[in-house]
Amino acid sequence: MKDFAGTHSERTMSVTDAAVVSIGHFEELRRVRADVTSAALVLARELNDTGRRTDLDEAIAAFGLDRAELTAELAADLSASGSAARPA
């Protein structure tokens, strides 16, 4: 008697669940995967880039905010937290 895979070979496929590879090869595969992911992200951004850039002050104004008020608020928050950093 034939099993399902033997009878319907067009409906079955073999998938490898595991492989034995060296640590060096595994690390190389991880680096390549990271590089391919980064390249895909760069390509997607390049394809969607219209070239339009928004000035920071325009963006702040678009949200109905004022740069001087934001700077003062940041300075107050930093002094309240005792942080040594100061806004530019």
**Which amino acid makes up residue 1?**
M
Please answer whether residues 38 and 48 qualify as being in contact, where contact means their C-beta atoms are separated by less than 8 angstroms. Answer: no
> Could you give the CA distance from residue 32 to residue 21 in angstroms, rounded to a whole number?
15
Cα distance between residue 57 and residue 60, in whole Å: 5
Sorted by where each begins, the domain ranges of the chain are: 18-52, 53-88
15: its two tokens: 């998938």
User: Could you tell me the sign of the dihedral formed by the alpha carbons of 73, 74, 78, 79, in that order?
Assistant: negative
User: Which residue stretches of the chain have pLDDT < 70?
Assistant: 1-2, 4-16, 83-88
Residue 10 pLDDT: 66
Q: Which amino acid is at 79?
A: S
pLDDT at 50: 92
